[in-house]
Structure 1
Amino acid sequence: MIPLSFAQRRLWFLGELEGPSATYNIPMAIRLKGHLDRAALHQAVRDVVVRHEALRTVFPSVDGQPRQRIRKADSLSLDMPVVPVVETELEETLRGEAAHTFDLSSELPLRAILFEVAADEHVLL
């Protein structure tokens, strides 16, 4: 395991100090209209995670000290659930999901959820 960089140590320290928080989340919602190839979208998101080690890094503690553990690409099970939602509830649902708190010791720092508003309209968060 590798020691944390200064930026990672700061993020870990603040997480320990504040407790679970969505402070550093950077949510992005993208509305997709028309036919959607869900398998291709899932593979594209997975490809980004595989290419970028930072998106595969968790910070478990070893003897009370945080360490980087870069998860192997072939061991990842990156889920992208599809959640039906009606337009009137979409904003509140997105807000709730964007407030997700990550467990830096074991959870990848990226989530992808596909909300199905209609057969030809989706929102990727």
Structure 2
Amino acid sequence: RGMLDRSAWQRSLDRVLARHEALRSVFVAIQGKPRVEVLPPDAGLPIVEHDLRERSDAKAAFLDLCQEEGRTPFDLARGPLIRG
């Protein structure tokens, strides 16, 4: 309840990403050979915000965004393997 502290939220998600190498792993092919690389712990998690507060169709817009996000594949070569 209450206002979201966006800065605290971002720091929390960044720490989760920093703590888990699996979420920072990327899959690349170097000279045709597959390889797993790990992004640095301070890579940070990109956050996309959608402000729907002023929209009369906020619920429908939210559901559309959820469906779109669910259909969006991860870029396994660039990472991270989590979105916020």
What is the TM-score with the length of structure 2 in the denominator? 0.83
CA contact (8 A) 2:14 2:44 kept: no
Task: Provide structure 1 residue ranges, at least 5 long, that are not aligned to the other structure.
Answer: 1-32, 113-125
SS in 1 for 2:15: helix
Bigger share in helix:
2
SS of the residue aligned with 1:69?
A: strand
Structure-2 residue corresponding to 1:64: 32
The 8 Å contact of residues 28 and 34 in structure 2, kept in 1 or not, is answered as yes
| Runs of 4+ more than 3 Å apart | none
Specify every segment of 5 or more residues in structure 2 that has no aligned partner in the other structure, as ranges.
Answer: 53-57
The two structures, once aligned, show a CA RMSD in angstroms of 1.3
Q: Which has the higher strand share?
A: 1
2:70 counterpart (75, 93, 98): 98
Partner of 2:45: 78
Q: Deviations over 1:3-38 (max 9, x none)?
A: xxxxxxxxxxxxxxxxxxxxxxxxxxxxxx422101
Question: Percent identity at matched positions?
Answer: 30
Tell me the number of residue pairs that the alignment of Structure 1 and Structure 2 aligns.
Answer: 79
